[in-house]
Amino acid sequence: MKKESICIIGCGKVGTAVAFLLNRAGYPVSSLMDLNPEARKRAYSLIGAPSYDNASAAAAAAEIVFITTNDDSIENVCNEIASRGALNGNKLVIHTSGAGGLSLFAAAKKCGASIACIHPIQSFTTIEGIIDTLPGSFFGITAAEETAKSKALALVKALGGKPIFVDDRYKPLYHAAACIASNYLVALLDASSDLYQSIGLSEDDALRCLLPLVDGTLANIRKRGLRHSLTGPIARGDIGTIEGHAEALRNISPSFMDLYRILGAIALKIAQSNKFITPEQAEHINKILE
């Protein structure tokens, strides 16, 4: 069965990697578009498809139009190509934003085009890294119509992805969850590294100490699940240790204590649900955290 042709508008890391993987899976890439000549050149070197500096011309050349620009530009690009007659009832328009909903494609829908979002639940730093990690990753699919949903599902499978379906209403929450797990893990380790540096370790040594700890925690989560992988003083009800932490952190910076308090409240909830600690211990810990 002949696969539909692809246009990529926005040849950044994600757009270029998606084009490469879909082309490898048999989807012909008809057009690559980016305002940056270097980005077009880089994408062309990997895929070999015609490159454009005009979004409407690029969109007109394909049946499936991916808008993989930064989130703030998606709606404007869609409005532009719709106003220039590049979209119609035979087209599918897709973006890859985690937070953005289908409302970004109101102009495309008005033209009769099908619309969808496929968002990879993955962290990216390089095009090569994305090409390696996209296959096997989960993708959040958002689409209101069955035709768009089935085509988006086929694209995710061609990318080697595992689909989950996300209601358009819940996109901000869905994306916030991913940000907390990925982006805020980096922020959390940066805070831990700062604390180690405050007692004399170098940044490199701090990270070398922390990464095996994080790896071990992730291994426990994979083996035992989230709630049964909680360790440490809150899980043990070790009130004296928690009081020592609180005093030391207050002396360093209120912001570190705020972080400890917020995350400690979540850990306390887990410890209570697992019955790791007594109600009396939980009440005492809660008072320290407050």
Strand partners, 64: 6, 92
- Total domains in the chain come to 2
* Structural domain contains residue 174: no
Q: What's residue 175's pLDDT? A: 96
Q: Name the domain boundary from 144, 169, 194.
A: 169
Report how far apart, in Å, the C-alpha atoms of 175 and of each of 7, 18, 116, 160, 167 are: 25, 20, 16, 21, 12
- Domain holding 138, by residue range, is 6-169
Is residue 1 scored above 80 in pLDDT?
Answer: no
Joined together, the tokens standing for residue 91 give 């087209």
Question: pLDDT tens digits for 66-95?
Answer: 999 999 999 999 999 999 999 999 999 999
Torsion of CA 7, 10, 14, 17, to 10 degrees: 50
User: Do 204 and 112 share a structural domain?
Assistant: no
User: Do 191 and 165 share a structural domain?
Assistant: no
Question: pLDDT tens digits for 168-202?
Answer: 999 999 999 999 999 999 999 999 999 999 999 99
* Mean pLDDT (whole number) for 111-124: 95
Across all residues in the chain, what is the average pLDDT?
A: 95
Give burial (CB, 10 Å; 0-12/13-18/19+) of 5: middle
* Mean pLDDT (whole number) for 33-45: 95
User: Do 210 and 106 share a structural domain?
Assistant: no
pLDDT category of residue 159 using cuts at 50, 70 and 90: very high
Q: Within a 13 Å sphere around the CA of 171, how many CA atoms are in the beta-carbon half?
A: 20
Q: What CATH number is given to the structural domain containing 68? A: 3.40.50.720
Q: Provide the whole-model pTM.
A: 0.89
Q: What CATH number is given to the structural domain containing 199? A: 1.10.1040.20
User: Do 165 and 27 share a structural domain?
Assistant: yes
